[in-house]
A = this chain, B = another copy of it.
């Protein structure tokens, strides 16, 4: 079940249906990982690529005294260790934040595909660039945004990304993160995250109940966090000159609609 990756790649006008099928065919096995466990092994010469199919995961880094940080969050459809394809040692681990299902694509075969098919190469390279763009935005937030702006911005980003994956309703989504985990994303203390949530709740912008986030006033949330989704590159990668590819419109692959009906 690599649907989410395919759904994501389908957005990419770069790929033909045939190429999508090739990628899908590559997914040998699927693993399930309990919350809290590592998804991708750290260390030398990683041998495969992991795609989150279900659940949420995060890259993590920590310091001896217990300080921890999540510099990236991976949602269904995201490749969570793209770097391992090029780098020969991977230093940051990836941990499941909720129970996860991950697809495992062996590097060797993926490399063959990348060598043969420039469009596939570009699709994966492009995903790395988007990850980079998101990291840049987070970096800015950590450096220059207030706690309230950071939280608001994160929640808007997650809505946009989940919506693209077809995993949100019009005004909310399942948020499997504890406040402690949110604090490790935002570089704040858990207590302070709690206070900011409370504030947003009190001004009527959102509600969290039973791990479900409802955004009552999306406009306000976007406004107070200065959210602009451009950096997510929801429009897909740039087309290759002269290419007339149209995977996204090809009905050969039966994939769920990408946007929820309003």
- Interface on A for B, CB 8 Å cutoff? 45, 59, 61, 63-64, 67-69, 71-72, 82-83, 86-89, 91-92, 108, 111, 115, 118, 121-122, 125-126, 128-133, 135-140, 142-145, 184, 186-187, 226, 230-231, 233, 235, 237-239, 241
Contact = CB atoms under 8 A, between A and B. Distances in A.
Contacts of A137: 61
30 contacts: A45-B238, A63-B145, A64-B226, A67-B145, A68-B144, A69-B139, A69-B140, A69-B143, A71-B135, A71-B136, A71-B140, A72-B136, A83-B133, A86-B126, A86-B237, A87-B129, A87-B130, A87-B133, A87-B233, A87-B237, A88-B235, A88-B238, A91-B133, A91-B231, A108-B241, A132-B135, A135-B139, A138-B139, A139-B139, A143-B187
A237 B132 CA distance: 18
Given A91-B133, A115-B118, 5 more contacts: A63-B144, A88-B238, A125-B125, A128-B132, A131-B132
Contacts of A129: 82-83, 86-87, 128
Copy tally for this chain in the complex stands at 2
B238 A144 contact: no
Given A67-B144, A69-B143, A238-B45, A136 B61 contact: yes
A226 B63 contact: yes
Contacts of A142: 139, 142-143, 187
A145 to B, nearest CB: 8
